[in-house]
Amino acid sequence: MNLKVPDTPVVVVDLDKLETNIREMAEFAREAGVSLRPHIKSHKTVEIARKQMAAGAVGVTVAKLGEAEVMVEAGITDILIAYQVVGEAKLRRLMDLMGRATITVAVDTLPGARMLAEAARGRGRHVPVVVEVNSGLDRCGVLPGEETLRLVRQLLELPELIFKGLMTHAGQAYGASSPRQVAEIGRHEGEVMVATAGLLRKSGIPVETVSVGSTPTVKFSGRIKGVTEIRPGNYVFYDAIQHGLGVAPLERCALSVLATVISRPAPGRAVIDAGSKTFALDKGAHGTAVVQGFGVVKGLPGWQLTRLSEEHGILEDAAKMEREPEVGEVLDIIPNHACPVVNLTDRVLVVRSGKAVDEWRVAARGRVR
């Protein structure tokens, strides 16, 4: 990278690659005939959300209410909170936000739905909801089929909730060991949702939305007839885990970390000024075996980022076959997982053709509430 040596560590976004990734996913959604509602938890950045909307997204997905607040503030008015909104303080904030935008919320338990309905009643509101279905991740979500039907019937008795449809996130794809397995998980994600929607409709319940998620799986689940919406997030950047899963080549990875070599304490060992407080410790949230170390060092393929302390990254060249980087040298590293990396920085440096052209604030960084 030919940047005029910036202070490091710094998170860099390549604008050409970012725009290619955004455009390509929007084209896929159009071809597959599904709505694109990208998950902004990956970038937490207003500028990127606006690019996604401009490329044809129908709205955005968020995990946390705090992220929704930032997006509404930025002028985005159709938001899915793909998350259970629970707790007095949050329900109050949700009702406030509903006055300013269309906010759909995920539910997966009757107690949670009742609290939501009660909060809405108190404020004279009606809340659009989707039921979260467990398509194999075993995190949140009711089981597909009869169990989903049972919960939906209970929801229909709560007049403050407007049942819109079903959503799922097949995050278990991150634990896949091959692209073939990713594809299988993706097809299953779509099929199980379409089947459950069919069961509801047979019971006389209209289902408007059948929404599936995750960057690795949407190219498969998004093609299943009956799926109406996809919610990929990470695709704006991609990263070493997506590469390992066969989802994107390294050349498409739009986000990287520039770090400076601060020590060369022994042959085959170099230390950089970025550790887990920059890279996070992600090796795949659900147990992936598709990455080695904590990132891919561009231009020095023999060197692996084998260990991270909080502020140190330890690079090792086990074979000692490659050029040794020098103290002061700036390295460009694709992280394993771009999403937590963005959440650890206040701003990202935006480059085009190796030149810094902008700096974006990570406006929803740290919005875990």
Smaller CB separation from its own copies, 352 or 365: 365
Smaller CB separation from its own copies, 30 or 286: 286
Per-residue tokens: 118 = 């009660």
Q: Quick count: other Cβ atoms within 10 Å of Cβ 342? A: 26
- Complete DSSP assignment for 230-248: EE--GGGT--HHHHHTTSS
Smaller CB separation from its own copies, 45 or 345: 345
Smaller CB separation from its own copies, 59 or 284: 284
Smaller CB separation from its own copies, 26 or 239: 239
Shortest CB 33 distance to its own copies, Å: 29
Shortest CB 89 distance to its own copies, Å: 4
Asked if residue 321 lies in contact with residue 306, where contact means CB atoms within 8 angstroms, the answer is: no
Smaller CB separation from its own copies, 68 or 224: 68
Shortest CB 56 distance to its own copies, Å: 26
Residue 74: which of 98, 105, 53 has the closest Cα? Answer: 53
Smaller CB separation from its own copies, 312 or 352: 312
Dmax (CA) for the chain in angstroms is: 70
d(Cα 63, Cα 39) in Å, to the nearest integer? Answer: 8
Smaller CB separation from its own copies, 228 or 260: 260
Q: Where are the alpha helices (DSSP H) in the chain?
A: 15-32, 46-54, 65-73, 88-98, 110-123, 146-155, 179-202, 218-221, 240-244, 276-279, 338-343
3-class SS of residue 72? helix
3-class SS of residue 31? helix
Shortest CB 46 distance to its own copies, Å: 18
Q: Which residues bind its own copies (CB under 8 A)?
A: 5-10, 41, 63-64, 83-84, 86-90, 93, 108-109, 111-112, 115, 134, 138-142, 171, 260-266, 269, 271, 273-274, 276-278, 280-282, 285-286, 307-312, 314, 326-328, 330, 339-340, 343-346, 366, 368-369
Distances from the Cα of 188 to the Cαs of 131, 144, 195, 210, 216, in angstroms?
18, 12, 10, 14, 13
Shortest CB 204 distance to its own copies, Å: 26
Shortest CB 171 distance to its own copies, Å: 7
Shortest CB 339 distance to its own copies, Å: 6
Shortest CB 286 distance to its own copies, Å: 8
Q: Within a 13 Å sphere around the CA of 325, how many CA atoms are in the beta-carbon half?
A: 27
Q: What is the dihedral of CA 230, 234, 237, 243, to 10 degrees?
A: -100
Strand pairing class (295-297; 78-84): unpaired
Q: Which residue has the tokens 């390992």?
A: 244
Shortest CB 197 distance to its own copies, Å: 19
The count of residues in the chain is 369
3-class SS of residue 35? strand
Smaller CB separation from its own copies, 56 or 262: 262
Q: Give Cα 30 to chain centroid, integer Å.
A: 20
